[in-house]
Amino acid sequence: MIDHSHDPSMERELDGNALAGMLETLFGSDMTAVPGRCAHCSTVNMVGAMRAYTGGPGAVLRCPACDEVVLRLVVTAEATYLDARGAAYLRLSRR
């Protein structure tokens, strides 16, 4: 995990738990316990453990191992845009 503990601006950094409601609205079930594989570094982390940047035009989830973007989301009045190119996969359990 990249160590952000020394970075004073990381106070505003949240994690995938902060997007749980939005993601569940989108996918229909909890997404925080869903493992995702980072397309950049291939590390697998649950969405809840990914670093989240929110409050701006959209939400960005980044890999805790390499800081690259895994998921991006924008919610407009009409639609939700999801860019999942940064995720090599998301593993949604059927159980």
Q: What is the binding site for another protein (CB under 8 A)?
A: 1, 3-5, 7, 9-18, 20-21, 24-25, 30-33, 45-49, 51, 53, 55-58, 60, 62, 67, 69, 72-74, 76-79, 81, 83
Which long-range contacts does 31-37 make (Cβ < 8 Å, 24+ apart)? 31/90, 34/90, 34/91, 34/92, 34/93, 35/90, 35/91, 36/70, 36/71, 36/87, 36/89, 36/90, 36/91, 37/87, 37/88, 37/89, 37/91
| Alpha-carbon distances of 95 from 23, 29, 91, 92, rounded to whole Å | 18, 12, 12, 9
The distance of closest approach from Cβ of residue 60 to another protein in the complex, given in angstroms and rounded to an integer, is 5
The distance of closest approach from Cβ of residue 38 to another protein in the complex, given in angstroms and rounded to an integer, is 13
The distance of closest approach from Cβ of residue 48 to another protein in the complex, given in angstroms and rounded to an integer, is 3
39 or 53: whose CB is closer to another protein? 53
14 or 88: whose CB is closer to another protein? 14
The distance of closest approach from Cβ of residue 77 to another protein in the complex, given in angstroms and rounded to an integer, is 8
